[in-house]
Amino acid sequence: MMRTWPVPPDKSARAMCTVWFRPCRRSGRPTGHLILSQSSSRWLGEDGPASRGSSRTGDSCRCLALGLGNSGACRTWRSLGRVRMGRRNAVDGQTPTIRGEREPKAGDAGAEEIDADAQLDSVVPSRIRSTNPHHQPRKLTARQREAFRQMSVQSREAKLRAIQGEVEPLHEINVPKLDPYDLMPQRESNRLRALSLFSGGGGLDLGFDRAGFSHVASYEILGHAAETLKRARPNWVVNGNQDGDVTSAKWTSLSGEVDIVHGGPPCQPFSIAGRQKGADDTRDMWPELVRCIRAVKPRAFVAENVPALASKKFAPYVQSQIIDMLSYRYHIKMLMLRAEDFGVPQIRRRVVFVGFARKKDAVRFVPPAATHRWGDSQLEFTENLERCMGAREALGLPDIGFDALSPTIRSSLTGPRHTTSILNSVAAQRTFEALQIWPNGVAATREKARAYVANNGHFRLSVQDVAVLQGFPEDWPFDGATYMQLGQLGNAVPPPMGYAVASSVAAAFEA
């Protein structure tokens, strides 16, 4: 931050003095590390921690560093004071000097404003401790954190008023026009047996089930997600919590009992929303999926992840950890799929690896073709495709003259807080605003969403609405608190996309 102070006239000079300071790294309070420069238009460098009176030589004048930290203890000066500047001949090697006029006092004009601004604009740590080693705390100033706190207070008060019935609802309870079951009609049994890893809320599991595969077992370490699968399909074998930990699973007993292994390892090591540490991230579970495939020896496998895994950055990883480890037995193809091509009203991309043990099955495999189109495409190959609904139409909302695909739904299982927002970017926020849909504070039910009116009057989403936007049927029984249900949705593969891949794999075996 910079402040410019007038310098009192004396016998030698009249000038302006520029004051620079930065906050303490530990407390966030302004420490001083001040640089006083004769020129307000030229940056002369920056001193390290120093006591009052130390100096360094700049281009044409001397700079005085005032170290306001004292033996590690940070204290805030209530005034920056004024300085006198003396002029001397710099040609003979003697530089001008800067000497303090007096000790700063709390009563100096402008001092309180500078001190308050400095503290508000200093980066301060969050008071909420994170126990997750992968969490990246946001670097927010005191002013920004206070703004967020005020938003939280206002949100709680508004929610309380809604619960007490003090707010008149603005929207009727919506009836979605899209039924995701229509995007994946139930196929007859193909007698192919599927094993699911990293099952989550069941995106791939449901897709394969609707495509006619029989279920061998699901493995999911997250207890609430495992409970979702048990509630949805009571006859399935679902291993949850520690029983669902794939790192300790013994797979050899399933050799010869499984035709296809499918799963989506955690995407955080590769997602552009994270640090993209790949193999150096402890959450990288691709080696465990590979271990399972090598031990079980299925006829085929399907593995999916975020598009970033297919980027140049991770090309060496894909080659060494996936292709090289499985190509001795499998013929592998990599696909890039879009959710809207299969009728899901959301912008969502996934990279999918499909491997076949027999070459003739791999040759017969045809990647899933689009069943829907978005927009008014005039291309010849799209004219016979069904039209993909926009988010508002899919949710059964009134026509406002504008509709669009929902932005990518983010997982709420990130950070130290339990969030109920599905917003993932500023661009997504602009799209939701244009759609007049409120993506924050998703409600548990449509009745609660209607009662809890958003500040801007936009339509508030419920968990059921988010499920529709993700391609899940409304009756899929997600377990857990609202944030946990949204986390399962945000982490999932849209079931119609999984259905399309499963159908293509089954067709390669049947041909």
DSSP state letters, 288-334:
HHHHHHHHH--SEEEEEE-GGGGSGGGHHHIIIIIIHHHTTT-EEEE
Task: Give the type of residue at 368.
Answer: P
pLDDT number for residue 306: 94
Does residue 76 belong to any structural domain of this protein? yes
Are 288 and 246 in contact by the 8 Å Cβ rule? The answer is yes
pLDDT number for residue 199: 97
pLDDT number for residue 459: 97
Are 268 and 134 in contact by the 8 Å Cβ rule? The answer is yes
Tell me 480's DSSP state.
Answer: S
pLDDT number for residue 131: 65
| Distance separating alpha carbons of residues 205 and 194, to the nearest angstrom | 9
Tokens 């043990």 sit on residue: 357
Question: What tokens were used for 185?
Answer: 């009609």
Q: How far is CA 73 from CA 25, 33, 53, 67, 281, in A?
A: 12, 14, 19, 11, 37
Tokens 């005191």 sit on residue: 142
What is the phi/psi pair of residue 240, to 5°? -120, 170
Please state whether beta strands 386-387 and 349-356 pair in parallel, antiparallel, or not at all (unpaired): unpaired
Backbone dihedral region for residue 32 (phi beyond 0: left; psi -120 to 50: alpha; all else: beta): left
Does residue 18 belong to any structural domain of this protein? yes
Are 217 and 239 in contact by the 8 Å Cβ rule? The answer is yes
pLDDT number for residue 86: 37
Residue 385: CB atoms within 10 Å: 17
Count the domains in the chain.
1
Catalytic (active-site) positions = 267
Does residue 353 belong to any structural domain of this protein? no
| Distance separating alpha carbons of residues 364 and 360, to the nearest angstrom | 6
Q: Does pTM top 0.85 for this prediction?
A: no
Question: What tokens were used for 23?
Answer: 């906050």
Distant-in-sequence, close-in-space partners of 211: CB < 8 Å, separation ≥ 6 = 184, 187, 190, 499, 502, 503, 506
Are 184 and 495 in contact by the 8 Å Cβ rule? The answer is yes
Query: Could you give the angle at the alpha carbon of 303 between the alpha carbons of 299 and 309, nearest 5°?
Result: 145
Please report, in tens digits, the pLDDT of each residue of the chain (511 residues total).
Answer: 444 434 344 433 333 444 444 455 555 554 443 444 433 333 333 333 333 333 333 333 333 333 333 333 333 333 333 333 333 333 333 433 334 444 455 555 555 555 666 777 888 887 777 666 656 677 888 888 888 888 888 888 888 888 788 888 999 999 999 999 999 999 999 999 999 999 999 999 999 999 999 999 999 999 999 999 999 999 999 999 999 999 999 999 999 999 999 999 998 888 887 778 888 888 999 999 999 999 999 999 999 999 999 999 999 999 999 999 999 999 999 999 999 999 999 999 999 999 999 999 999 999 999 999 998 655 555 668 999 999 999 999 999 999 999 999 988 776 556 789 999 889 999 999 999 999 999 999 999 999 999 989 999 999 999 999 999 999 999 999 999 999 999 999 999 999 999 999 999 998 6
Distant-in-sequence, close-in-space partners of 241: CB < 8 Å, separation ≥ 6 = 221, 223, 226
What's the domain range around 82? Answer: 2-123
Nearest Cα to 207, choosing from 461, 465, 470, 396?
Answer: 470
Distant-in-sequence, close-in-space partners of 179: CB < 8 Å, separation ≥ 6 = 473
Question: What tokens were used for 245?
Answer: 């930990």
Nearest Cα to 324, choosing from 290, 350, 295?
Answer: 290
- Show the DSSP H helices in 357-481 as ranges: 359-364, 391-395, 426-435, 446-451, 463-469
Does residue 9 belong to any structural domain of this protein? yes
pLDDT number for residue 90: 35
**Beta pairing partners, 73:** 70
Does residue 221 belong to any structural domain of this protein? no
Are 268 and 487 in contact by the 8 Å Cβ rule? The answer is no
Residue count (the chain): 511
Are 395 and 381 in contact by the 8 Å Cβ rule? The answer is no
Question: What tokens were used for 419?
Answer: 């969030």
| Distance separating alpha carbons of residues 55 and 336, to the nearest angstrom | 61
CA-based diameter of the chain, in Å? 99
Are 201 and 489 in contact by the 8 Å Cβ rule? The answer is yes
pLDDT number for residue 275: 79
Task: Give the type of residue at 296.
Answer: V
Does residue 285 belong to any structural domain of this protein? no
pLDDT number for residue 97: 38
Tell me 23's DSSP state.
Answer: B
| Distance separating alpha carbons of residues 419 and 430, to the nearest angstrom | 20
Radius of gyration of the chain (CA): 31
pLDDT number for residue 414: 61
Angle of helix 203-210 relative to helix 495-510, nearest 10 degrees, comes to 40
Please state whether beta strands 83-86 and 97-100 pair in parallel, antiparallel, or not at all (unpaired): antiparallel
Q: How many helices (H) and strands (E) does the chain have?
A: 14, 22
Does residue 110 belong to any structural domain of this protein? yes
Are 59 and 43 in contact by the 8 Å Cβ rule? The answer is no
Does residue 10 belong to any structural domain of this protein? yes
